[in-house]
Amino acid sequence: MSGFLTASSVEEALALAAADAAANANAADVQTERAGAAAAPGAAGVETDGAEALRVLDLHCDTLDRLVLSGDPTVPGGFYEHNAGVPRARMSRLDDNDGDVSLARTAAFRWCQCFAVFVPDQLRGDAAWALFERVRGFWEAERARCADKLAAVRDGEEVRAAFAAGKTAGVLTVEGCSFLEDDAAAEVRLDALAAAGVRMATLTWNAPNALGSGHDTDAGLTAFGRRMVRGLEARGIAVDASHLNDAGFRDLLDAAELPFACSHSNARAVCGHPRNLEDWQLREIAARGGVVGLNFHRGFLRDDGADATPDDLLRHADRILNVAGEGALALGSDYDGSDVPSWLTPCDAVVTLHERFAGAFGRATADRIFFGNAARFLFGL
């Protein structure tokens, strides 16, 4: 979740519309190039000639919260306001919806999606846990209802089985551990996360909580936060340092004993937003065997606020590849929780990005970015 862009003035709205038009023109150029090159992919955007479908592992989306909370004005986070114009019936099901990610869109790929339960900063302790349970309940209900299309996975064998059965693989993750507080409930809740199949969790969102802080403050990890890092690791839940501020990141380098991820963060050298990563952070993540998921949020792609083009994503990918090497870059779309360029949504549009990556870095590297690096990190594949 990165928050949704709000056009607070007519000028801003017009600027956004103009940027959209420019991006669409750019996307049209890409389509033209592609059509001229080889057999263009079909509508599903995947392979032709019997080749295996493109593999995708996306480390972060907010689809669960969006579907659960779009109809609920009482929960903070912006989902209700953002989706006010979308018919409720079109924003309620995982298999088919008008959001960015749906099983209807992922079906033609071998797609593994990390589905985050996003916990807004305004909720703490029991209230935060109640929201986690509410969204997890939706996930359980949807995976049961869509069992012919979706398999919840925790390890490499389950990913392989899901793909072999032609199903989308879904991984439960957490964004914002503000339900963990320094009391007896913390260990119980860590156990419950592991039992629910959670495989990765960010410690914070943007504001401070009992563990540490996002970029709203300069405070590092608390002693409790350091204990929770080890508590997550001990349960096979990867620590996700996206949203953590720089002081907290430095503290995490001491506290973490296992590789960790930044599931949805870009290169700060390319776009200076504090949610993006400095080169030294990229190097540390890579040196420890972690991964960085490329975020599609417009605000993290360009400093000037203009709509992002494929070249902007290439610039971030190029920087991360150069600084962190070939083994660290992955995808962390932030679908359904941010403002994604129109040419990158809904999610099956990523085939355009894969083609651009393959053209710039080679097919093998594009495949590692799209699947291999994250699959190694999460599943040892």
Maximum Cα–Cα distance across the chain: 62
Which residues does residue 39 pair with via DSSP β-bridges, in sequence order?
none
The 10 Å CB-count burial string (b at 16+, else e) for 237-248 is bbbbbbbbbbeb
* Residue whose CB is less far from Zn ion, 1 or 19: 1
Q: List the interface residues with Zn ion, window 183-242 (CB under 5 A).
A: none
Alpha carbon distances (Å) from 151 to 113, 161, 208, 278, 376: 10, 9, 34, 36, 19
Q: Which pair of tokens denotes residue 361?
A: 């870095």
If you ran DSSP here, which 8-state letter would residue 240 be given?
A: E
Smallest gap from residue 337 Cβ to Zn ion (A): 6
354 Cβ contact partners less than 8 Å away, ≥ 6 residues apart = 54, 366, 370
Q: Does 59 bind Zn ion (CB under 5 A)?
A: no
* Residue whose CB is less far from Zn ion, 47 or 246: 246
Q: List the interface residues with Zn ion, window 1-40 (CB under 5 A).
A: 1
Smallest gap from residue 344 Cβ to Zn ion (A): 16
* Residue whose CB is less far from Zn ion, 62 or 251: 62
The alpha-carbon radius of gyration of the chain (Å, integer) is: 19
* Residue whose CB is less far from Zn ion, 1 or 378: 1
* Residue whose CB is less far from Zn ion, 275 or 354: 275
Smallest gap from residue 200 Cβ to Zn ion (A): 12
Smallest gap from residue 1 Cβ to Zn ion (A): 4
Distance CA 201, CA 193 (A): 9
Instruction: Quickly tell me which residue has 């540390």 as its tokens.
Output: 284
Size of the site for Zn ion (CB under 5 A): 1
* Residue whose CB is less far from Zn ion, 204 or 373: 204
Alpha carbon distances (Å) from 296 to 138, 146, 194: 25, 27, 28
Distance CA 318, CA 202 (A): 25
Smallest gap from residue 175 Cβ to Zn ion (A): 5
Closest residue to bound Zn ion by CB = 1
Smallest gap from residue 206 Cβ to Zn ion (A): 8
**Under the rule (CB under 5 A), what is the footprint of Zn ion?**
1
